[in-house]
Amino acid sequence: MKKLLPSALRLSAFIIAAAVSVSAATAQPYAGMGNGQGWGSGMMGGGLGQGGFGYGMGPGMMGGGMMGNYPVSAGWGGKVLSFDDAQSYIQYGNTHGTADTKANSVTFTGDKVVINLVAVQPGYKDQTFELHGLTNPTIIVPRGATVQLNQLNMDYGNNMEHTVVITSVPPPYPYMAMMYLGQPQVPPMPELPWRSSDDLKTAQYAALGESFVASAPGEYWYVCPAPQHAEEGMYGKFIVQ
């Protein structure tokens, strides 16, 4: 099943195709945070029922949403987090999945999976993703699971906007990776702007998420398609089994 969506700026090269995902609707805006708060009706049409965080697309963000090179601010189109919120997001993500530091992998089980991915967590190498304290880990999810994929951008500086695309095209990637990745396996999120300030504790951070069903087993890659980012190593393996 394919769903063609309007293109926007940096992601204009992509034709959206649902292979891992069978997605039919735009995810709802963020519904809240804290105990008892859940994911609102999302891309799969029904709430996941997960307590804690809910970072969803606002209306129109899957197609034609504003993207570009700028720091986060209120009204950018996704969730804006404080430093304390960002730490809670990371800690919450660490409660989902099992990390294997030796294999550099995080394995998820069950029919509902929550992945709280971080783009350039402070203290880690630039142009990387972090999850469970691992850099660019292999992410393993069960076939048929509903996956809530969230992203938090903690990077700072010019051209440090990030997003994530799931693709079947393996590395290495060129400077303009977006022209090389082919059809994404799930509709990609818009680029998340970089944090609002150099000071970590006073800065605000962009967060966003989407859900999909991992219906097609195989080996894929999660990649930041912004120019030069994947070329410098901002990608990891995504396995559905």
Q: Under a CB-based contact definition with an 8 Å cutoff, are residues 201 and 172 in contact?
A: no
The confidence score (pLDDT) of residue 188 equals 86
Cα dihedral value 184, 188, 193, 198, nearest 10: -70
Residues near 229 by Cβ (< 8 Å), separated by ≥ 6? 127, 162, 177
Distance of alpha carbon 87 from alpha carbon 168, whole angstroms? 31
Distance of alpha carbon 193 from alpha carbon 78, whole angstroms? 10
Tell me, what amino acid is at 112?
K
pLDDT, tens only, 216-232: 999 999 999 999 999 99
Tell me, what amino acid is at 226?
A
Confidence of residue 7 (pLDDT cuts 50, 70, 90): very low
pTM of the model as a whole:
0.77
Q: Strand 205-213 relative to strand 79-81: parallel, antiparallel, unpaired? A: antiparallel
Distance of alpha carbon 201 from alpha carbon 181, whole angstroms? 36
pLDDT, tens only, 104-136: 999 999 999 999 999 999 999 999 999 999 999
Look at residue 48 and give its three-state secondary structure: coil
Distances in Å between the alpha carbon of 69 and those of 42, 158, 160? 27, 7, 7
